[in-house]
Amino acid sequence: MSSHAIATIWRGFVLIAIVSGSAFFALADLSSLPLEGYDDAHLHFAAFVGMTILAASAYPHLPLTHLLLAMGVWAGITELLQFLPGVHREPDWSDFAFDILGIDCALIVVAWLRRLVLQASGVPLVPQAGRLDPVRSTRKTTYVQ
The secondary structure of 87-113 as a DSSP string is -S----HHHHHHHHHHHHHHHHHHHHH
Beta carbons within 10 angstroms of residue 6's beta carbon:
10
Q: Does the structure show a pLDDT above 70 at 37?
A: no
| pLDDT tens per residue across span 59-109 | 988 999 999 999 999 999 988 887 877 777 777 889 899 999 999 999 999
Q: Is pTM beyond 0.75 here?
A: no
What span, in angstroms and rounded, lies between the C-alpha atoms of 53 and 115?
15
Three-class SS of residue 80?
A: helix
Domain regions of the chain by residue span: 3-120
